C-alpha cells in the first residue's frame, strides 16, 4: 500500500475505534478525537520513540495529552500499538475497566499523565521537558529523548498556557514539540465566539518556533515533525488546522464534519449517522471494533522497527554505562530517588524561629545530599525562604540547566504543574514554594498529583492571620481546612492521597522535610509560619530531633503538667502548639487538672496509627480542647465537638502587626487559658 493510502487507512481506523467506543458507552467525546487521528497516527508510527517490550524505558519519548476528553483518540492509537485490547476499549467508561472516561497515568499502557482539567496536561509535559534538560545537564547523552505534547482549543484558552508557554519559550526547551489541534470548535460554541487571538503570534512572542499546517494531512504532519526534531534552541508549536469530527457523515452520506454537536456525545446523537460513518471509514457497522488487516500489518512492522531501534540504543546506553561507571551509578540513583536522607543532627536552633526559616534551612541542608532536588518558587523565594536553597545553587537559564532551581515568575498554577510534570518524567524530586493563601491557585494541580500519586512537595509559608500587616488578602483562614480535606480522600490504592504537614517548631520542620522527601506515595504539603515560634520542650527525649521525629506518627505528646493520666488534652499544630504550651501551666494551676499538650501535624496520619496509639495520646476519658489559627473544622476528625471545643478563626483576618492581631483575636497563651478555664468549669 502506498504511504498516503496507509496513512489514511490507519487514521480512519483510529477514527472508527474512537467513534465506536463512544457509541457503545453511550457517552464520551468523539469529534475532537476523530480530528486528531492523523496526527497521532504519524507520531506514534514514525516519530515517538519507545520500546514495545519495555514501556518504562527511561529514555522513551514522552507523550502528554492535555485534552483528556479526547481519550478515545489516545486509547485507539494505543490499541494499534497493543497497549489495549479491543475488549478494553469496548468497556470504555465502564466500571472496573482500564479505559476510564479521562485517561489516568498508567505507564505500562503508555499513558504518561492523568488529564481532564484542560490546560494542566500540557503544562505537565513542559515540566517533563524541563526535567529532561536538568538530567541532560548532568548525564549528557545518556538522556536523549523528546517530549510531545497535545493541546486543544480548551488548553490554549486556559490561563495556565500563558505561564507554561512563557517559561518553555524563555528556557528554550528545544526537545519540546507541541501539537495544537486547532479545530476551532469547543464544547458549547465555536472558538470564534470567544476569541480572536492570534495564537501563532502569541507563541512566537514567547520565543517558540511556530508552524502552521493542515493537521489532517499526514505528509504535512510528517514534515513538520521532522523539522521540529531538528530545532536546536526553541520549543516548537505545530498548529494543526484540523476538522472536528473528521469522517462523520449523515444518514444521506453527506459530510457532517466541523459540527459542535459532535464534541461531546455519540455520533448517532449528534446529527450524524453512526452506521453511515462507520461505512464511510471503511468499517463494518455490525462490528465496528476492528483493526484493519493492512493497518495491523503496518503497525506490526513499525513496532518491530521500534524494538530494534530501542535494542540498539540500549546497547549504546550499556556502553556509556561501562565507560562511565560512576556517572551511570549516579544516574540510577537519580531515577530511583535513591539518596540517603541526611539526619541533620548538626542543624540546631536555640531560639524562637519562624518555620518558614527552619524549613528553608532544612531544604538548604539537603542540597548536595539529596542530589536530584529541584526547588521552585513563584517569585517569592526570599519570602518563602527557598532562597536558602538557591544560595547553594543557581536558577535554570536558557541553555544552562546545571542549577537546581526554577524561578517560575508569578505563576503558581503553572509552577505547580511544571514541578509535578518534572516528577512524572522521573529522575527528580521537586519542591515548589509560595504563600499559603495562594495555595488556592495551585489546588487543581495538587488534586491531579494526588490522583496520580505523584510525590511532589508543595511548600506554603505565611500560614495564618499572623502574616499581619499585609492584611486579609494575604491571611489564610480556610486554606488549611481545605487542603486537609485532601488528606481525607483516598487514592486508588486506598491510601491517603495527600500528606499535609504543618510543623510546630524548627525541629518538627527538619523532621517534616525528611518525611516529605522520603514520601514516595503521594504529594506532601508543607505549611510554615512567617512569625517566630518558640522551640517546644525536649521532654524526656534524648534530643530535640528525637522529640520532633515523633511526628512520623502524625501526632505525639509534647508535654504534660504532671505524671499520670491527663484530665485535659490540648491539641494543635503549627504555631498554635507553642501557644498551648504557654497556656498549659496556667490552665493546670487555675483548674487543678492534669493538662497535656499534643502536637498533631497531620490528623489523618495520626488516625492511621490505629485506635490504641490515638488513645494513648488522646485518651477518650480526657476533655479535649483544640486551637487553630484557621477554621476549627481542621480538627473535625479528632475533636468531633470542634465547633465548641476548638478555638479557631471563623472570619477573615485584618491588617495590623501580628502581635496586635494575636491580642485582638485571642491567640495569646493567657487569652487561650482564660477561654479554656471557662470551658472546663
Active site residues: 412
Is the Cβ of residue 152 or residue 579 nearer to ligand TPP in the bound state?
Answer: 152
Could you say which residues in the range 168-207 bind ligand TPP, by CB under 6 A? 183, 185-187
Q: Nearest approach, Cβ of 119 to ligand TPP (angstroms)?
A: 6
> What's the grid cell of residue 605?
496520619
Q: Nearest approach, Cβ of 65 to ligand TPP (angstroms)?
A: 11
Classify residue 496 by burial, with Cβ atoms within 10 Å: 0-12, 13-18, 19+. buried
Sequence-distant (6+) residues with CB within 8 A of 459 are 359, 384, 386, 431, 432, 433, 434, 526, 528
Backbone angles phi, psi at 501, to 5 degrees: -120, 120
Q: Nearest approach, Cβ of 513 to ligand TPP (angstroms)?
A: 32
Candidates 7, 23, 61, 153: give the one binding ligand TPP (CB under 6 A).
153
d(CA 290, CA 287): 7
Q: Nearest approach, Cβ of 213 to ligand TPP (angstroms)?
A: 17
**Is residue 116 part of the contact set for ligand TPP (CB under 6 A)?**
yes
Q: Specify the DSSP class assigned to residue 581.
A: H
Of the candidate spans 63-71, 339-347, 460-468, 647-655, the one that interacts with ligand TPP by CB under 6 A turns out to be: 63-71
Is the Cβ of residue 32 or residue 207 nearer to ligand TPP in the bound state?
Answer: 32
Could you say which residues in the range 346-405 bind ligand TPP, by CB under 6 A? none
Closest residue by Cα to residue 503 from 316, 388, 363? 363
**Looking at beta carbons, which residue is closest to ligand TPP?**
32
**Is residue 152 part of the contact set for ligand TPP (CB under 6 A)?**
yes
Is the Cβ of residue 189 or residue 336 nearer to ligand TPP in the bound state?
Answer: 189
**Is residue 501 part of the contact set for ligand TPP (CB under 6 A)?**
no
CB 552, CB 544: distance < 8 Å = no
Is the Cβ of residue 153 or residue 508 nearer to ligand TPP in the bound state?
Answer: 153
Cβ burial 140-160 (10 Å sphere, 16+ → b, else e): eebbbbbbbbbbbbbbbbbeb
**Is residue 69 part of the contact set for ligand TPP (CB under 6 A)?**
yes
Candidates 32, 528, 574, 626: give the one binding ligand TPP (CB under 6 A).
32
d(CA 84, CA 72): 12
**Is residue 31 part of the contact set for ligand TPP (CB under 6 A)?**
yes
d(CA 380, CA 78): 42
Task: Kindly give the interhelix angle for 160-171 and 412-425, rounded to the nearest 10 degrees.
Answer: 60
Q: Specify the DSSP class assigned to residue 84.
A: S
Q: Nearest approach, Cβ of 118 to ligand TPP (angstroms)?
A: 4
**Is residue 29 part of the contact set for ligand TPP (CB under 6 A)?**
yes
**Is residue 30 part of the contact set for ligand TPP (CB under 6 A)?**
no
CB 360, CB 388: distance < 8 Å = yes
Candidates 117, 165, 357, 360: give the one binding ligand TPP (CB under 6 A).
117
Is the Cβ of residue 187 or residue 352 nearer to ligand TPP in the bound state?
Answer: 187
The residues pairing with 238 across neighbouring beta strands, listed in sequence order, are 179, 211
- In 256-411, where do the E strands start and end? 353-354, 373-377, 405-407
> What's the grid cell of residue 82?
497493543
Of the candidate spans 46-54, 57-65, 66-74, 373-381, the one that interacts with ligand TPP by CB under 6 A turns out to be: 66-74
**Is residue 101 part of the contact set for ligand TPP (CB under 6 A)?**
no
What is the contact mask toward ligand TPP in residues 236 to 255, using x (rule: CB under 6 A)? --------x-----------
What is the contact mask toward ligand TPP in residues 257 to 296, using x (rule: CB under 6 A)? ------x---------------------------------
Closest residue by Cα to residue 672 from 661, 662, 660, 658? 662
Candidates 28, 52, 67, 426: give the one binding ligand TPP (CB under 6 A).
67
Of the candidate spans 148-156, 367-375, 389-397, 457-465, the one that interacts with ligand TPP by CB under 6 A turns out to be: 148-156
Classify residue 435 by burial, with Cβ atoms within 10 Å: 0-12, 13-18, 19+. buried
CB 33, CB 18: distance < 8 Å = yes
Is the Cβ of residue 180 or residue 292 nearer to ligand TPP in the bound state?
Answer: 180
Torsion of CA 277, 283, 284, 288, to 10 degrees: -80
**Is residue 115 part of the contact set for ligand TPP (CB under 6 A)?**
no
Is the Cβ of residue 69 or residue 142 nearer to ligand TPP in the bound state?
Answer: 69
Kindly list the residues in this chain that would bind ligand TPP in the complex (CB under 6 A): 29, 31-32, 67, 69-70, 116-118, 152-154, 183, 185-187, 244, 263
Amino acid at each position: 500500500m502506498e504511504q498516503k493510502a496507509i496513512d489514511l487507512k490507519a487514521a480512519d481506523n483510529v477514527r472508527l475505534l474512537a467513534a465506536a467506543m463512544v457509541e457503545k458507552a453511550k457517552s464520551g467525546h468523539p469529534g475532537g478525537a476523530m480530528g486528531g487521528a492523523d496526527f497521532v497516527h504519524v507520531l506514534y508510527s514514525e516519530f515517538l520513540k519507545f520500546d514495545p517490550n519495555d514501556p518504562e524505558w527511561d529514555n522513551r519519548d514522552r507523550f502528554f495529552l492535555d485534552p483528556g476528553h479526547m481519550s478515545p483518540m489516545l486509547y485507539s492509537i494505543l490499541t494499534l500499538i497493543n497497549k489495549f485490547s479491543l475488549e478494553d476499549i469496548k468497556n470504555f467508561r465502564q466500571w472496573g475497566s482500564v479505559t476510564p472516561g479521562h485517561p489516568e497515568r498508567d505507564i505500562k499502557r503508555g499513558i504518561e499523565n492523568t488529564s481532564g482539567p484542560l490546560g494542566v496536561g500540557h503544562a505537565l509535559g513542559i515540566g517533563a521537558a524541563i526535567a529532561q534538560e536538568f538530567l541532560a545537564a548532568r548525564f549528557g547523552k545518556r538522556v536523549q529523548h523528546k517530549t510531545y505534547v497535545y493541546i486543544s482549543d480548551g488548553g490554549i484558552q486556559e490561563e495556565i498556557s500563558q505561564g507554561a508557554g512563557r517559561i518553555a519559550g524563555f528556557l528554550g526547551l528545544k526537545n519540546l514539540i507541541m501539537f495544537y489541534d486547532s479545530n476551532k470548535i469547543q464544547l458549547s460554541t465555536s472558538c470564534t465566539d470567544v476569541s480572536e487571538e492570534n495564537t501563532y503570534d502569541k507563541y512566537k512572542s514567547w520565543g517558540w518556533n511556530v508552524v502552521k499546517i493542515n493537521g489532517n494531512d499526514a505528509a504535512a504532519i510528517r514534515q513538520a515533525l521532522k523539522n521540529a526534531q531538528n530545532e536546536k534552541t526553541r520549543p516548537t508549536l505545530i498548529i494543526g488546522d484540523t476538522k472536528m469530527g473528521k469522517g462523520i457523515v449523515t444518514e444521506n452520506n453527506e459530510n457532517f464534519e466541523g459540527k459542535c454537536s459532535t464534541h461531546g456525545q455519540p455520533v448517532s446523537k449528534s446529527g450524524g449517522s453512526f452506521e453511515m460513518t462507520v461505512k464511510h471509514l471503511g468499517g463494518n457497522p455490525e462490528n465496528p471494533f476492528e483493526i484493519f488487516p493492512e493497518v495491523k500489518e503496518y503497525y506490526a512492522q513499525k513496532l518491530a522497527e521500534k524494538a530494534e531501534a530501542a535494542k540498539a540504543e540500549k546497547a549504546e546506553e550499556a556502553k556509556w554505562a561501562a565507560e562511565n561507571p560512576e556517572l551511570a551509578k549516579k544516574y540510577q540513583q537519580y531515577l530511583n530517588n535513591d539518596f540517603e536522607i541526611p539526619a541533620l543532627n548538626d542543624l540546631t536552633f536555640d531560639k524562637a524561629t519562624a518555620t518558614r526559616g527552619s524549613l528553608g534551612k532544612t531544604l538548604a541542608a539537603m542540597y548536595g545530599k539529596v542530589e536530584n532536588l529541584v526547588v521552585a518558587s513563584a517569585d517569592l523565594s526570599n519570602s518563602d525562604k527557598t532562597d536558602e536553597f538557591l544560595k547553594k545553587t543557581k536558577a535554570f537559564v536558557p541553555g544552562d540547566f546545571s542549577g537546581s532551581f526554577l524561578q517560575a515568575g508569578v505563576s503558581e498554577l503553572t509552577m505547580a504543574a511544571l514541578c509535578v510534570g518534572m516528577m512524572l518524567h522521573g529522575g527528580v524530586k521537586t519542591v515548589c514554594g509560595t504563600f499559603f493563601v495562594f495555595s488556592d491557585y495551585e489546588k487543581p494541580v495538587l488534586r491531579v498529583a494526588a490522583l496520580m500519586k505523584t510525590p511532589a512537595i508543595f511548600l506554603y509559608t505565611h500560614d495564618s492571620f499572623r502574616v499581619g500587616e499585609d492584611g486579609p488578602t494575604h491571611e489564610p483562614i480556610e486554606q488549611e481546612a481545605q487542603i486537609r480535606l485532601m488528606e481525607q480522600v483516598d487514592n486508588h490504592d486506598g491510601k491517603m492521597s495527600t500528606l499535609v504537614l504543618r510543623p510546630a517548631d524548627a525541629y518538627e520542620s527538619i523532621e517534616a522535610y525528611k518525611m516529605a522527601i522520603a514520601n514516595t506515595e503521594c504529594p506532601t504539603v508543607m505549611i510554615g509560619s512567617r512569625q517566630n515560634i518558640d522551640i517546644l520542650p525536649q521532654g524526656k527525649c534524648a534530643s530535640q530531633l528525637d522529640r520532633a521525629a515523633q511526628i512520623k506518627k502524625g501526632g505525639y505528646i509534647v508535654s504534660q503538667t504532671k505524671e499520670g493520666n491527663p484530665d485535659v488534652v490540648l491539641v494543635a499544630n503549627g504555631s498554635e502548639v507553642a501557644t498551648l504550651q504557654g497556656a498549659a501551666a496556667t490552665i493546670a494551676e487555675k483548674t487543678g487538672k492534669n493538662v497535656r499538650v499534643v502536637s498533631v501535624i497531620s490528623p489523618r496520619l495520626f488516625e492511621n496509627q490505629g485506635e490504641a496509639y490515638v488513645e494513648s495520646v488522646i485518651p477518650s476519658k480526657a476533655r479535649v480542647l483544640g486551637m487553630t489559627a484557621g477554621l476549627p473544622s481542621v480538627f473535625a476528625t479528632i475533636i468531633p465537638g470542634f465547633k465548641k471545643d476548638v478555638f479557631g478563626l471563623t472570619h477573615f483576618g485584618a491588617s495590623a502587626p501580628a502581635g496586635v492581631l494575636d491580642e485582638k483575636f485571642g491567640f495569646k497563651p493567657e487569652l487561650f487559658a482564660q477561654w479554656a478555664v471557662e470551658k472546663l468549669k
